[in-house]
Amino acid sequence: MRDIPRMNIDATGLRIGLVTSAYHEEITTRMREGAITAFVEAGGTEDDLYEVAAPGAFELVVLADALARKDLDGVVVLGCVIKGDTMHDQYICNSTSQMLAHISFEHEIPVGFGLLTLFSKEQGMDRAGGEKGNKGEETMNAVIATALGLQAIEEDLPDAARRHLEEDEGEDEDESEEEYEYEVVEEYEDGEEVPEEELEYEEEEA
């Protein structure tokens, strides 16, 4: 059995967009710092990070979509939603997650989902550099690894449409190289076919 390929975390030469929600800033700021640190430690430079601030979690979608249309290798999205007394958090999280997945699929670019969905601020602090790690760092590393995976696929494997086109061109070349034999048939004036032996006899006489 083949081993599972190891993830490559090398940000050298990668250009990444970073969108951070300003809501619950005490949490998202620490996530942002974790993401930037992870990018630099992986070999990236801060000049290759394009940062945008979003007012809240819902606004992450349109900004991520705008970045996904640009010359970037990936987009990291960071935010925080804490459950309140209503179902507002569920609508925000469900719509945001679905739209970010759609953006990633539509533009064929990794979009890292770093949106914390919590019951309390304490849970957020634990996941923004606390005892539960840093979600910003995890999201950045995931985007880097996915971007490199997409690059490897693009370099190693041809597109299906291009492969089929090359196969069709090869078949056309083979057909053009085939030799065709044509049979010459002569007829008498009355339309009756001349026997083959007479054709050979006439050819010899000529």
Active site (catalytic) residues: 88
**CA-to-CA distance for 32 and 27, rounded, in angstroms?**
9
CA 55 vs. chain centroid, Å, equals 27
Distance CA(26)–CA(23), nearest Å, equals 8
CA 150 to chain centre: 6
Q: Is 160 exposed, middle or buried (0-12, 13-18, 19+ CB in 10 A)?
A: exposed
Q: Which amino acid is at 77?
A: V
Of 74, 45, 47, which Cα lies nearest the Cα of 151? 74
